Amino acid sequence: MEPVLSVRDLRVHFVLDEGLVRAVDGVSFDVAPGQVVGIVGESGCGKSVTMKAILQIVEPPGRVVGGRMLFRGDGAEAVDLARLDPRGAAMRAIRGAEIALIPQEPMAAFSPVHTVGDQVVEALRLHQRKWRPTGPALSSADARQMTVELFRDVGISMPGERVDAYAWQLSGGLRQRAMIAMALSCRPRLLIADEPTTAIDVTTQAQVLNLLRELQRRRGTAIVFITHDLGVIAQMAHHVVVMYLGRVMEQGPVDDIFHSPKHPYTRALLRSIPSLLAPAQSPLPTIAGSIPHPLGRPPGCAFHPRCPELIAGVCDRQAPALKVVEGEQSAACFLYHRDEAEP
């Protein structure tokens, strides 16, 4: 099956007064239909910028400067999102209808002066020709009815009344569900969830994650799930992409990543998180140093100053390419591709 989204060597640069920031520096990954791909990384790794690049909403001074993002919508004809004008009609037709976003902060994503129902109806009407190619235009009564159904689908209680509520009247969990309803309203092939549960409580998070899993199973929507929480990734993703300072360090099936991580960064990261199952009160193994400033990117492999398995003379000179290590798992590390390094 052809992947829904195929990102190849994506590069996004930010031209600042202080210098050039390579926020995304050659990122490649695929999203198969119906699959959940988790992109995990810490601050400065470029995961949010990657998401914005896919939707072509990177703000200046950022610009997509290279790479391809092949998207196969319902039309089955692959289109390179990187080539589309961010404000053009083609991209706008894709945004919301084919690729939808669940943002991190639902309070900020909803307009405070419109009801949540109105905003979902707006999305429905805007893209009605996509999911309803023939027939008369959608009436407001029908749109409202559809919205109520959508709200019921995502588990919002009393949907008929909630449709007329304002975002600030709803609790965090309800807001996020309304956001999911809006994102799914036009039946997109790809859903991008940008840290959707970071701002909500853990019990509500469990509900929202269950909901996403259920909806994804039922509708076959592919999801790109961006988060820094490794626990959430373990529970949600089928395939994991680990990013650091704008590059992919490792990617592979979720079980392989967690049970047999190959890249030193992934290994160190997994070791350093406190887990409910781990013994308490013993010092956690940490990653030495701290994340470098994006302007002070280390030469060669971005992780080398903090890497416990540094190969001097190699890792600090050249950046390793992402290559297959085992099965479907690939890593960008000279430990596995020593022969790739030039002497």
Partner 1 sequence: MTAPVLDVRGLRKFFEIWRGFPRRVVGTVRAVDDVSFTILEGETLGLVGESGCGKTTTARCILRAMAPSGGEILFRTAAGGVVDLAPLSRKALRPLRPQIQMIFQDPFGSLNPRMTIFDNVAEPLLVNGMRARRARLERVAALLELTGLRPESMHRFPHAFSGGQRQRIGIARALATEPRLVVADEPVSALDVSVRAQVLNLLLELRRRLGLTMLFVAHDLSVVKHICDRVAVMYVGQLVEQAPAAALFARPRHPYTAALIRAVPIPDPRAPSGDVALAGEVANPAHPPSGCYFHPRCPFVVERCRAEAPALRQVDGHAVRCHRAEELSLAGAGQGIAS
Task: Work out whether 111 is an interface residue with partner 1 (CB under 8 A).
Answer: no
Q: Which residues pair with 80 in a beta bridge?
A: 70
Which of 28, 128, 235, 318: binder of partner 1 (CB under 8 A)? Answer: 235
Q: Judged by CB under 8 A, does residue 296 bind partner 1?
A: no
- Residues 151-190, one symbol each (x = binds partner 1 by CB under 8 A, - = not), give --------------------xxxx----------------
How crowded is residue 295: how many other Cβ atoms within 10 Å of its Cβ? 12
DSSP state of 221: -
Angle (deg, nearest 10), helices 172-184 and 202-219: 20
Q: Which stretch binds partner 1 (CB under 8 A): 90-98, 145-153, 218-226, 282-290?
A: 282-290
Judged by beta carbon, residue 146 or residue 206, the one nearer partner 1 is: 206
Give 69's strand partners: 7
Buried b (16+ CB within 10 A) or exposed e, 246-284: bbbbbbbebebbbeebbbbbbbbbbeeeeeeeeeeeeee
CB of 14 to partner 1, least distance (A): 19
Instruction: Find the shortest distance in angstroms from Cβ 265 to partner 1.
Output: 9
Is residue 329 a contact residue for partner 1 (CB under 8 A)?
no
Residue 154 has, within 13 A of its CA and on its CB side, a CA count of 25
Please report how close the Cβ of residue 174 comes to partner 1 at its closest, in angstroms: 7
Residue 274 within binding range of partner 1, rule CB under 8 A: yes
Rounded least distance, CB 173 to partner 1, Å: 6
- Strands in 181-229 per DSSP E: 190-194, 222-227
234 touches partner 1 (CB under 8 A): yes
* Min CB(17)–partner 1 separation in Å: 16
- Give the span between the Cα atoms of 64 and 14, in whole angstroms: 9
Rounded to 10°, the helix 116-126/172-184 angle is 10
The reply on whether position 286 binds partner 1 by CB under 8 A is yes
Among 283, 296, 339, 343, binds partner 1 (CB under 8 A): 283
Q: Work out whether 203 is an interface residue with partner 1 (CB under 8 A).
A: yes
What's the burial of 334, exposed, middle or buried (CB within 10 Å: 0-12/13-18/19+)? buried
Nearer to partner 1, 118 or 229 (CB): 229
Q: Is 298 exposed, middle or buried (0-12, 13-18, 19+ CB in 10 A)?
A: middle
Site for partner 1 contains 280 (CB under 8 A)? yes
Told to check if 204 binds partner 1 by CB under 8 A, we report yes
Angle at alpha carbon of residue 229, lines to 227 and 230, rounded to 5°: 110
Determine if 270 is a binding residue for partner 1 (CB under 8 A). Answer: yes
The least CB distance from residue 184 to partner 1, in Å, is 19
Q: Please state the closest distance from residue 50 (CB atom) to partner 1, in A.
A: 18
The Cα–Cα gap between 57 and 123 comes to 17
To partner 1, the closest distance from the beta carbon of 186 in angstroms equals: 27
- Interface ranges with partner 1 (CB under 8 A): 42-43, 171-174, 201-207, 209-210, 228-235, 254-255, 258-259, 268-270, 272-278, 280-281, 283-287, 290-291
